[in-house]
Structure 1
């Protein structure tokens, strides 16, 4: 007989693997925007503790967490051009402008050559490397408009900085139910290379701890989720440090949660693996503001994942 009172709790990654299995075996099979096809469900939730420096990095495959961290820091600058990401060796946003360039120019060009031109040619980068007003633009410079006379309005030079306002609100009104920021600016969606998937973040202060929640309208569970949950954990920990709070837990909510049909190898391999270990994320410096963190400030400890599983990105 199993003594449930003393048996160890399931590994935090089990809920992810259970969701993956459910979608792969029971999800609705459909043709999606990319034409690749998915199996999908609507509505899912997972919870992970951040206590004791814990971070919900997947252990059944290697997650390149520094790429996710560099992306999050890039968002906080408000930059929307891939040039700085490419300079840092981050390629996760290149496929969209590359695809646009190929279609517009008819040129047969590989990713490495395209990225080299982005880095070396500022004019080329300005024209072809910009993603439109994606995440960071909305997070730190949500557009405002001011009267321009004759009933017309013009865009103000400086927009709303949701992140700065959030830090201030957590400090001043920790009981507020409005501790959130979003990237879903309906008026600017048509200009974005990709409308925000991880679209709304909300936070709660409870007993000296900061809890974070992410609503993700669309989640590629096989590839994207690993970065999304790390980004939520990283942001929650940064905000907690800036506001003199302890990290609590993170809650992830997915709208359309799916697996691509061409990810069969990834799914089957990952579901055959057993999760183990308890990685930790530490911030080794407290900068003067939420916008002054550097990649060197972050350290992941006790992370011994199984091997990386490659899979194609649907554009």
Structure 2
């Protein structure tokens, strides 16, 4: 009896949403089919990764985004300079809305790359993922009854320390949902809560995602979360164990029909592996050159519009 390919659960989820999901209006106005509460599980032993093969996933782009999160930066310019486009639509939409200038997205991105002052003014996304991960804001109470900013909390650094010194803890968590700052974010965190668990020398991880675009977003989310797990395991001397993904509002956009039908017509192929070619001094010192994927032979890419 042949083993079921790890990707089949992703395709089954896509098929279920498209055939059984509740059709609803959404924030973007595009419309979705949605289910609530989904779970996927992946074994990361032996270098395995949940890298989707029924379409090409640009894993280096997702990796550059994760490394950007770990810097705490919230401006798109470092991503733009690396050719990463996944966050461009939100600041562009804000620029058009606030200035009334009907500038094309490509021209806006070019100005972000070439004009640092313009990028400072218009490229910032607010206190999104990286800010919350490595510089969660705190406040001190003053004698005059007012509050002033305190030293930010580096959740990622504290997580590494707790995994090393107190592996049995139930508090190995990275949280992105800062209620006080959501209104200042270009997009509230979708992959919001990460929890880690140590057992038998292995690091297991669980990601709870409040909102998930299964066609475009989830392949990136699966890769990035599993990659973070692999990096944390290396930094703490543990073996990578199981990665569990949980979705709240798990949906497909109605204008992704062509992508969905094409992808569901394809069969998974191959078992890609990830090698970490270097162990940096800290979790914050990884570079794109530190990651090598082998045996990845996916089907071709499938394009679809992003709902902003």
Root-mean-square deviation over aligned CA pairs: 0.6
Which of residues 15, 20, 26 is equivalent to 2:20? 26
Which of residues 169, 174, 179 is equivalent to 2:172? 179
- Secondary structure of residue in 1 paired with 2:274: strand
Residue 155 of structure 2 is matched in structure 1 by 162
Q: CA deviation at 1:295?
A: 0.5
Residue 42 of structure 2 is matched in structure 1 by 48
Query: Within the alignment, does 1:189 sit opposite 2:178 as a pair?
Result: no
Give CA deviations for 1:98-119 in whole Å, capped at 9, x if unaligned.
Answer: 0000111111211221111111
Query: Within the alignment, does 1:11 sit opposite 2:5 as a pair?
Result: yes
Query: Within the alignment, does 1:59 sit opposite 2:53 as a pair?
Result: yes
Residue 193 of structure 2 is matched in structure 1 by 200
Residue 225 of structure 2 is matched in structure 1 by 232
Cα distance in structure 1, aligned partners of 2:179 and 2:100: 31
Residue 297 of structure 1 is matched in structure 2 by 290
Give CA deviations for 1:38-58 in whole Å, capped at 9, x if unaligned.
Answer: 000000000001111011100
Query: Within the alignment, does 1:249 sit opposite 2:238 as a pair?
Result: no
Out of 175-184 and 145-154, give the one that drifted further. Answer: 145-154
Question: Structure 1 stretches of 5 or more lacking a match?
Answer: 1-6
Q: CA deviation at 1:279?
A: 0.2
Residue 139 of structure 1 is matched in structure 2 by 133
Residue 33 of structure 2 is matched in structure 1 by 39
Give CA deviations for 1:226-255 in whole Å, capped at 9, x if unaligned.
Answer: 000001110000000000001011000000
- Secondary structure of residue in 1 paired with 2:68: helix
Cα distance in structure 1, aligned partners of 2:272 and 2:103: 39
Q: CA deviation at 1:148?
A: 3.0
Cα distance in structure 1, aligned partners of 2:231 and 2:281: 12
- Secondary structure of residue in 2 paired with 1:15: helix
Q: CA deviation at 1:282?
A: 1.0
Give CA deviations for 1:151-201 in whole Å, capped at 9, x if unaligned.
Answer: 111112x30000000000000110111111110000000000000000000
Residue 128 of structure 1 is matched in structure 2 by 122
Question: Structure 2 stretches of 5 or more lacking a match?
Answer: none
Residue 213 of structure 1 is matched in structure 2 by 206
Q: CA deviation at 1:149?
A: 2.9
Residue 3 of structure 1 is matched in structure 2 by none
Which of residues 101, 113, 118 is equivalent to 2:107? 113
Cα distance in structure 2, aligned partners of 1:48 and 1:109: 43
Residue 68 of structure 1 is matched in structure 2 by 62
TM-score between both structures, scaled by the size of structure 2: 0.99
Residue 281 of structure 1 is matched in structure 2 by 274
TM-score between both structures, scaled by the size of structure 1: 0.97
- Secondary structure of residue in 1 paired with 2:275: strand
Q: CA deviation at 1:147?
A: 2.4
Q: CA deviation at 1:212?
A: 0.8
Give CA deviations for 1:29-79 in whole Å, capped at 9, x if unaligned.
Answer: 000000000000000000001111011100000000000000000000000
- Secondary structure of residue in 1 paired with 2:292: strand
Residue 104 of structure 1 is matched in structure 2 by 98
How many residues are paired up? 308
Q: CA deviation at 1:8?
A: 1.8
